[in-house]
């Protein structure tokens, strides 16, 4: 199995940062993607970064790179994970939305199995974040509707579905994770912490490994 890791956006993408500019999504995503790729390689897997560049490689080119590898190795032997962090707005102000979630394209595909494995791993690796959530919620850091691990159970699995180009334009099992919110102060603190970065890297690694080792995926 070839593990392809996509890191959202680029240095030249407008917006996509925390209101205090401490977290730049392109930079954070590249750091996480780089460590995840190295971690998977150290575990003996063939892991590759789809966008090693700092600039925002357009989505059609990202999809082309993925599909080229799918054509070479067979799409059933390739998976793609796109690393992002979420935002509740684009007005440069702190918000009260928070939490982690995973997206697949609409319909039942192998990506649903991959997404569920990563979602399960998120529930394990984000336990410190999950445990702190109610206290932070009571202090108003998160509004009452927020959950630390977000899920859409309407079709029987926990992933959200969206027609993101990186999901619909690629042939292999592909998921996109939104790891917490870049415009929530408590979330940004966690995302920039050593504990937070490690948890985000490990939940992706464990989810991918569980998927690969599943006999009937």
Pick one of 8, 99, 148, 196: the residue that binds Zn ion (CB under 5 A).
8
Q: Which is nearer to Zn ion, 2 or 101 (CB)?
A: 101
What minimum distance in Å lies between the beta carbon of 8 and Zn ion? 4
What minimum distance in Å lies between the beta carbon of 85 and Zn ion? 7
Determine, following the binding rule CB under 5 A, whether residue 10 of this chain makes contact with Zn ion. no
What minimum distance in Å lies between the beta carbon of 99 and Zn ion? 15
Restricted to residues 135-164, the positions that interact with Zn ion (CB under 5 A) are none
Q: Per-residue x/- mask for Zn ion, residues 30 to 69, rule CB under 5 A?
A: ----------------------------------------
Pick one of 62, 65, 84, 204: the residue that binds Zn ion (CB under 5 A).
84
SS3 annotation, the chain: CEEEEEECCCCCCCCCECCCCCCEHHHHHHHHHHHHHHHHHHCCCEEEECCCCCCCCCHHHHHHHHHHHHHHHCHHHEEEEEEEEECCCCCCCCCCCCCEEEEECCCCCHHHHHHHHHHHHHHHHCHHHHHHHHHHHHCCCCCCCCCCECCCHHHCCCCEECCCHHHHCCCCEEEEEEEEECCCHHHHHHHHCHHHHHHHHHHHHHHHHHHHCCCCC
Residues of this chain that bind Zn ion (CB under 5 A):
8, 84
């Amino acid at each position: 199995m070839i593990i392809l890791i996509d890191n959202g956006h680029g240095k030249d993408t407008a917006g996509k940062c925390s209101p205090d500019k401490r977290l730049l999504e392109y930079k954070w995503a590249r750091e996480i993607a780089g460590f995840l790729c190295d971690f998977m390689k150290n575990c003996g897997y063939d892991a590759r970064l789809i966008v090693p560049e700092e600039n925002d490689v357009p989505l059609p080119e990202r999809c082309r790179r993925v599909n080229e590898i799918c054509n070479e190795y067979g799409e059933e032997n390739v998976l793609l994970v796109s690393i992002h962090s979420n935002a509740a707005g684009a007005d440069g102000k702190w918000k009260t939305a928070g939490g982690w979630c995973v997206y697949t394209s609409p319909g039942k595909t192998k990506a649903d199995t991959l997404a569920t494995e990563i979602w399960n791993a998120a529930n394990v690796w984000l336990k410190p974040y999950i445990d702190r959530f109610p206290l932070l919620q009571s202090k108003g850091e998160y509004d009452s509707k927020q959950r630390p691990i977000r899920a859409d159970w309407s079709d029987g699995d926990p992933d959200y579905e969206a027609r993101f180009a990186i999901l619909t334009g690629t042939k292999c099992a592909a998921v996109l994770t939104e790891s917490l919110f870049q415009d929530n102060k408590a979330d940004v603190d966690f995302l920039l912490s050593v504990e937070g970065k490690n948890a985000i890297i490990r939940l992706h690694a464990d989810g991918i490994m569980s998927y690969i080792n599943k006999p009937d995926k």
